[in-house]
Structure 1
Amino acid sequence: MSVSSADHGDRRTVTVVVAIQAAISLGYFSAMAHLVVHLKEDLGAATGLIGLVLSLRNLVQHTLSLPVGALVDVLDPARAGTLACLLRAAGFALLGAVSSPSGLVVAAVLLGTGGALFHPAAQSLLAGVAERRRARGYAAYTMTLQAMAVLGPAVGLALLNIGYWLVALTAAGLWILAACLFPLVRNGPRVPSEDGAAAGVRTALRNRFFMWFVAVSMPTMLLTDQASVVVPLGGAEPRAVTLFTCVLATVSAAVQPWCAAGTRAERFGVLRAGLLCAGGGYLLLAAGAGDRLAGLVAAAVLHGIAGGLLQPAVFQTVVRLAPSAHYGTHLGVRAFFSGLLAFAGGIAVSRLFEYGPRGATMAMTALAVAACASAAVTRCLSSREADAGRRAPVS
């Protein structure tokens, strides 16, 4: 394949993946931004059931990420992505049609299974393009996500006036549209994984420095997921939740171009700064700042900065550390461990909220402590990378 045709293929891959991101993110955020309110107000679900549904989706998604990420390396990411979108479409359709705990659990499982397939498939396609396009491609990918995270809750709020069933049905339709876009990706030559999926998992688990990075970055998923959960659980009305979500996403989208440019996101100082901002956001909420508009906006800004820094920092570092034949496997291994922590942490946070304001304060304080502790440990990564014989990043 000539350089020009390879470059054209990379451009097409990035364009299609970004278009897919726009469709699925609009559907996801329009439905998920108002899910807690739907479960709490429309269905009268207990806080424990709400936490179970949200955390079960995370558990299924990220537990399956390890085997699914490995399979993406030996199969076709475009086909895996198509299947992922269809599964999530079914999950969102079911979410708007059922009211029983068992139905909600099935919907959560479908959403989690679809997510387990989608993320390694889409990100493996981006990881496989030429390095000079990868950073810009991932920046466009994450900026599109954040832009839809701003638009999605507003679209969902407008549709919510008719009923959550319409919000969920719209989300399902957008995921079906994304399923139709995946076949348009024109895959370039793939580096074969000669020993199969299991060998890729063993390679990742035996990479000591990579596993140290996984351990240090594990809380990032819990911290970013719970930011949009604790505000509605704390009793905020739908308009306040929408404001918080939109401000958070707007700030993240503004930070993404700076962070994703070049090799900046590979610096462990960026990961540390993101963790500290997340910790600061939870401390503000724990102090009661969310009861006032200015405090809620300030917390959203800190969480937005955190998301804008953490997402590209984790992706670019995983891609840098992973062999080219095992991108999906390494993404899956990292998501697997992060998902387990996000599941356990999500259940714990929801249970603490059942004890009223004191429990809510304890939950958000614990999240802030976890963020700051992980930020402190990131200082060990540079020295460990040097010991492992790798290029030491600038931090």
Structure 2
Amino acid sequence: MSPPDHRPETRTLLGAQLVFNIGFYAVIPFLAGAMGTEYGLDAAAIGLVLGARTFSQQGMFLFGGLLADRWGPRRAILTGCLVRILGYATLAAASDFPLFLLGAVLTGAGGALFSPALESQLSHADRPPAGGAGGAGRRSVFVWLAITGELGAVLGPVLGTALLGWGFDAALGAGIAVFALVTVLLWFRLPAAPAARARGAGGPGPALGCLRNRRFVLFCLFAGTNMLAYNQLYFTVPVELDRRGLDPAWLGALFLLASVLTLLLQLPVSGLGRRLGPGRALSAGFLVVAAAFAVAALTSVPPGAQESSVLPVMGAVAVLILGHMLLTPTILSLIPVFLPDPGARAGRGAYYGLAATCGGVAVLVGNAGLGILLELTARHHWWPGTPWIPLSLLALLAAAALPVVLRRPGGDRTRAEAPSRTAP
């Protein structure tokens, strides 16, 4: 089959995701250290700044998606780049807590505008021609989105580390330059026509239909378990390393392992998911995630234990990443199926935004509960694997529930991901 007409646009969007991630990861991983060492902020202030950045991004994804539907993806993507540039410039000018907080919020808001619009545009940009195989094109573009995003997550810290010798402001300056490059590239490369069509689609009523779509809300809530699971690389995995008395530098090695696995195996794993079909791929992915947390539970050690091997943690992380690779492209490729017209552009941004927001809520609520459970486990000397059990059970619940949610009364619509109604 010949390449789709939108292939150049797809390459532009994937390149933008790569450069966007490089600019993000060149700065944000080093923000906490810079606020503490260069500017003398205390731990409470640093935690509030980082929390505000995360909340402003995760909490505003639905709003960003609504704007993408109202303005058109091109305008929302460009605005997201400009807002992130403003956020980095504010961080560069900051010397006290209020400006750091404002810069962090602007940085998060830029991501909330950029990501749902880009995903919405990608879901159309690489669609197959009329009469082609429906799901293959859309799923493949999200596979490449995962790969390019991960490559940016690897290259960004390398750039940031190289620039830190000149101070944190040098890293911020590089980030601003990177986002400016993305903005200029997209200004000239992204077509303006989709924006005009999106503006003609109507007001916020149709776009907010995602909130009235109960099947889609259920899908998002269960699929959000994937983001909660991946977020344990930032939360419970460091706790486990600390329990084992391992150097915190091992966490960087685990992130590197996750990146290498993604870059090497994302294509074959997603090929397996395509052969399984969406329902089975979701079940298989969450079963793998549940197995990862079961491994973590069975090999967990109490605080202060003499066990210092990192191999069990590496094994659990590797299995978790395999499940994540199977789940993420499948979840993203299925979102348009829930629209009243899966081939239409109107409302797409809101649907992608709601999915991302539900993932953020899952992380917020799940990590709050896990924090309490970790504290109770340490205080009452419970079995050290206890905090991992709810994570495994949630993954099992998602594995069982999502194939049911995907079914329609008239059969499984998800196999016709791009039916004949696909917009020309």
| TM-score, scaled to structure 2 | 0.77
In the alignment, what sits opposite 1:218? 224
Q: Distance in 2 between matches of 1:97 and 1:248?
A: 34
AA in 2 matched with 1:373: L
Q: Distance in 2 between matches of 1:336 and 1:186?
A: 27
Aligned mate of 1:315, from 332, 336, 344: 332
What is the CA deviation profile of residues 289-327 of structure 1, one whole-angstrom value per residue up to 9, with x for unaligned ones? 995443454344234324323321221121232333221
In the alignment, what sits opposite 2:15? 19
Q: CA deviation at 1:379?
A: 0.8
* SS in structure 2 at match of 1:17: helix
1:111-122, aligned counterparts within 5 Å? 111-122=107-118
Q: CA deviation at 1:33?
A: 3.1
Identity %: 23
In the alignment, what sits opposite 1:155? 159
What is the CA deviation profile of residues 124-178 of structure 1, one whole-angstrom value per residue up to 9, with x for unaligned ones? 1111121453222222221111122222223323333443332233223212211
Please tell me whether Structure 1 or Structure 2 has the larger radius of gyration of its CA atoms.
2
**Contact 1:62–1:336 (CA<8 Å) still a contact in 2?**
yes
AA in 1 matched with 2:186: F
**Contact 1:252–1:306 (CA<8 Å) still a contact in 2?**
no
AA in 2 matched with 1:379: A
**Is 1:198 aligned to residue 208 of structure 2?**
no
1:93-132, aligned counterparts within 5 Å? 93-95=89-91, 98=94, 100-129=96-125, 130-131=127-128, 132=136
**Contact 1:248–1:301 (CA<8 Å) still a contact in 2?**
yes
Q: CA deviation at 1:14?
A: 0.7
Aligned length: 387
In the superposition, relative to structure 1, how do residues 67 and 152 fare at CA in structure 2: closer, same or farther (>3 Å)? closer
**Contact 1:39–1:45 (CA<8 Å) still a contact in 2?**
yes
In the alignment, what sits opposite 1:342? 363
**Contact 2:64–2:76 (CA<8 Å) still a contact in 1?**
no
Q: Distance in 2 between matches of 1:299 and 1:256?
A: 18
In the superposition, relative to structure 1, how do residues 32 and 311 fare at CA in structure 2: closer, same or farther (>3 Å)? farther
**Contact 2:223–2:398 (CA<8 Å) still a contact in 1?**
no
**Is 1:246 aligned to residue 256 of structure 2?**
yes
Q: CA deviation at 1:365?
A: 5.5
In the superposition, relative to structure 1, how do residues 21 and 297 fare at CA in structure 2: closer, same or farther (>3 Å)? same
1:278-297, aligned counterparts within 5 Å? 279-280=293-294, 283=297, 287=301, 292-297=309-314
In the alignment, what sits opposite 1:31? 27
Q: CA deviation at 1:269?
A: 1.7
In the superposition, relative to structure 1, how do residues 380 and 306 fare at CA in structure 2: closer, same or farther (>3 Å)? closer
In structure 1, stretches of 5+ residues that fail to align are: none
In the superposition, relative to structure 1, how do residues 102 and 292 fare at CA in structure 2: closer, same or farther (>3 Å)? farther
AA in 2 matched with 1:381: L
Q: CA deviation at 1:42?
A: 5.2
Q: Distance in 1 between matches of 2:298 and 2:84?
A: 34
Moved more, 139-148 or 366-375: 366-375
* SS in structure 2 at match of 1:194: coil
Moved more, 224-233 or 203-212: 224-233
Aligned mate of 1:258, from 254, 268, 271: 268
In the alignment, what sits opposite 1:90? 86
1:178-189, aligned counterparts within 5 Å? 178-183=182-187, 184-186=189-191
Q: Distance in 1 between matches of 2:158 and 2:106?
A: 25
Aligned mate of 2:406, from 373, 376, 385: 385
Q: CA deviation at 1:204?
A: 1.4
**Contact 2:68–2:116 (CA<8 Å) still a contact in 1?**
yes
In the superposition, relative to structure 1, how do residues 349 and 151 fare at CA in structure 2: closer, same or farther (>3 Å)? farther
Q: CA deviation at 1:117?
A: 0.5
In the alignment, what sits opposite 2:350? 329
In the superposition, relative to structure 1, how do residues 371 and 41 fare at CA in structure 2: closer, same or farther (>3 Å)? farther
Moved more, 144-153 or 99-108: 99-108
In the superposition, relative to structure 1, how do residues 200 and 226 fare at CA in structure 2: closer, same or farther (>3 Å)? same
**Contact 1:47–1:351 (CA<8 Å) still a contact in 2?**
no
**Contact 2:292–2:317 (CA<8 Å) still a contact in 1?**
no
In the alignment, what sits opposite 2:283? 269
Aligned mate of 2:55, from 48, 54, 59: 59
In the superposition, relative to structure 1, how do residues 194 and 239 fare at CA in structure 2: closer, same or farther (>3 Å)? same
Q: Distance in 1 between matches of 2:338 and 2:12?
A: 26
Q: CA deviation at 1:206?
A: 2.3
| TM-score, scaled to structure 1 | 0.82
In the superposition, relative to structure 1, how do residues 247 and 134 fare at CA in structure 2: closer, same or farther (>3 Å)? same
Q: CA deviation at 1:99?
A: 5.0
AA in 1 matched with 2:204: A
Give the structure with the higher percent helix: 1
Q: CA deviation at 1:20?
A: 0.5
